[in-house]
């Protein structure tokens, strides 16, 4: 005769260790990992302070991201203490967790004791549907999606690189996108600048980009800067953004951007394209090299022609722009290994992706100094990079 559910629960609890909510309350202050094994909808109604959500049905696939150290103390809880008991046994017997305990009485007893409950921000029903595939990824889930919705990302250029980056960041739910571009849509742009279309020829690119972004995701706030970025406005425009996406096509502006972002300590996801080749790197001030470490001096003009002079494969900006969008998402969420200190080299014709390590230059004229010293009375606001690059050419 099969044992009753009550008997099964009694046997499970006899093999695990339980802990009273009063002790859990003290352990929270000590930084012990607390995991809520209820469903996501239950978690959204309120949870223990600092608790991580790992529904019991996804325990085996998601617990490692919430509690990677199997030897560290781990507290599980549910509504009443039953589901967490079963989950504790699974972690203990099947997954090798050494110090896992289940909280007696679950969150119900916790509330009865009058202890603090956090009510998290939640996504609307429409947002849950729109971002449902993100919510299935343990590294993103609801908390990560909320980070994306709160993020502010500035794109320099609504051209070949800016087009796919803007579209995919909007689709991913980045809440605020800024676009800096003083150009208008031209027929020659449409071979690669997919955020624009034939009906918008002559329209300012910032307006055209906003129309496409809003059509894709109406919740995205678009901030438009229909100006040319220069030393007179760069600090004001860049201030307050979480990440900058570099899609500019000339060395003077890139050097200027580097100085300003190191000064403001804003990470930059930078890419460059020409012909069939693309490059990408992430410059996170003081965590890795800056752009000036990589290019102490600009190359001669004949070695770095513009796309307008030398051409570019139409699909190449899509490849590199999507890599930029991916790096932005990683930076916002704080996951994975962004391409900091690495220069990725893509050859479309050979279908190869190489990598060059880049180290910080201890004598770099920019990032070797304190941020406050990057603009000084001796230098003026910023160096004249137009003259600097012209001299190198």
Q: Do 341 and 357 meet the contact criterion of CB atoms below 8 Å apart?
A: yes
User: 35 forms bridges with which residues in the sheet?
Assistant: 52, 76
Q: What is the pTM of this model?
A: 0.78
Sequence-distant (≥ 6) Cβ neighbours of residue 92 within 8 angstroms: 15, 16, 98, 100
Structural domains of the chain, with CATH: 5-112 (3.40.250.10), 151-392 (3.40.50.720)
C-alpha to C-alpha distance for 151 and 242, rounded to whole angstroms: 7
To 5 degrees, how large is the angle CA 340–CA 341–CA 345?
A: 95
pLDDT tens per residue, range 233-248:
999 999 999 999 999 9
Mean pLDDT score across all residues of the chain: 92
C-alpha to C-alpha distance for 77 and 81, rounded to whole angstroms: 6
C-alpha to C-alpha distance for 281 and 249, rounded to whole angstroms: 15
Sequence-distant (≥ 6) Cβ neighbours of residue 219 within 8 angstroms: 127, 149, 173, 175
Q: What is the pLDDT of residue 306?
A: 53
Q: What is the pLDDT of residue 377?
A: 40
Q: What is the pLDDT of residue 90?
A: 95
Q: Do 266 and 156 meet the contact criterion of CB atoms below 8 Å apart?
A: no
Predicted confidence band of residue 379 (pLDDT cuts 50, 70, 90): very low
C-alpha to C-alpha distance for 33 and 96, rounded to whole angstroms: 16
Residue 57: exposure state from Cβ atoms within 10 A (0-12, 13-18, ≥19): exposed
User: 47 forms bridges with which residues in the sheet?
Assistant: 118
Hey, what are 368's tokens? 């070797």
Predicted confidence band of residue 370 (pLDDT cuts 50, 70, 90): confident
Predicted confidence band of residue 302 (pLDDT cuts 50, 70, 90): low
User: At residue 305, does pLDDT exceed 60?
Assistant: no
Hey, what are 158's tokens? 């609504």
User: At residue 352, does pLDDT exceed 60?
Assistant: yes
pLDDT tens per residue, range 168-211:
999 999 999 999 999 999 999 999 999 999 999 999 999 999 99
Neighbours of 24 (CB within 10 A): 20
C-alpha to C-alpha distance for 244 and 51, rounded to whole angstroms: 32
Q: Do 110 and 84 meet the contact criterion of CB atoms below 8 Å apart?
A: no
**In the predicted model, what is the mean pLDDT of residues 85-97?**
95
Predicted confidence band of residue 373 (pLDDT cuts 50, 70, 90): confident
Give the number of C-alpha atoms closer than 13 A to the C-alpha of residue 150, restricted to the C-beta side. 11
């Amino acid at each position: 005769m099969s044992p009753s559910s009550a008997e099964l629960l009694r046997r499970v609890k006899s093999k695990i260790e339980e802990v009273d909510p009063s002790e859990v309350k003290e352990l929270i202050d000590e930084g012990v990992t607390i995991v809520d094994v209820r469903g996501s909808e239950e978690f959204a109604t309120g949870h223990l302070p600092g608790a991580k959500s790992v529904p019991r049905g996804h325990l085996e696939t998601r617990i490692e991201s919430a509690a990677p150290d199997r030897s560290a103390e781990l507290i599980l809880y549910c509504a009443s203490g039953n589901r967490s008991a079963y989950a504790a046994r699974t972690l203990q017997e099947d997954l090798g967790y050494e110090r896992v305990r289940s909280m007696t009485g679950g969150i119900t007893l916790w509330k009865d004791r009058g202890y603090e409950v956090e009510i998290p921000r939640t996504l609307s029903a429409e947002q849950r549907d729109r971002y449902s595939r993100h919510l299935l990824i343990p590294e993103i889930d609801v908390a990560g999606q909320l980070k994306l919705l709160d993020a502010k990302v500035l794109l320099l250029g609504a051209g070949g690189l800016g087009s796919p980056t803007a579209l995919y960041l909007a689709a991913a739910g980045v809440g605020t996108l800024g676009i800096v571009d003083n150009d208008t849509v031209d027929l020659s742009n449409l071979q690669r600048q997919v955020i624009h279309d034939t009906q918008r020829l002559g329209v300012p690119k910032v307006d055209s980009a906003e129309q496409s972004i809003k059509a894709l995701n109406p919740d995205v706030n678009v901030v438009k800067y229909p100006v040319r970025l220069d030393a007179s406005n760069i600090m004001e425009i860049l201030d307050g953004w979480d990440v900058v996406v570099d899609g500019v096509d000339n060395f003077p502006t890139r050097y200027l951007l580097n100085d300003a972002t190191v000064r403001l300590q804003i990470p930059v996801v930078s890419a460059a394209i020409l012909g069939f080749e693309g490059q990408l790197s992430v410059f996170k001030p003081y965590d890795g090299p800056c752009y000036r470490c990589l290019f102490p001096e600009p190359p001669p003009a004949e070695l770095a022609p513009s796309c307008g002079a030398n051409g570019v494969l139409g699909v190449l900006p899509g490849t590199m722009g999507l890599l930029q969008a991916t790096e932005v998402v990683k930076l916002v969420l704080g996951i994975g290994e962004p391409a900091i200190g690495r220069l990725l080299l893509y050859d479309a014709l050979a279908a190869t992706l190489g990598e060059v390590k880049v180290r910080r230059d201890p004598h770099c004229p920019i990032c070797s100094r304190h941020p406050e010293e990057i603009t000084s009375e001796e230098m003026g606001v910023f160096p004249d990079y137009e003259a600097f690059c012209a001299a190198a050419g």
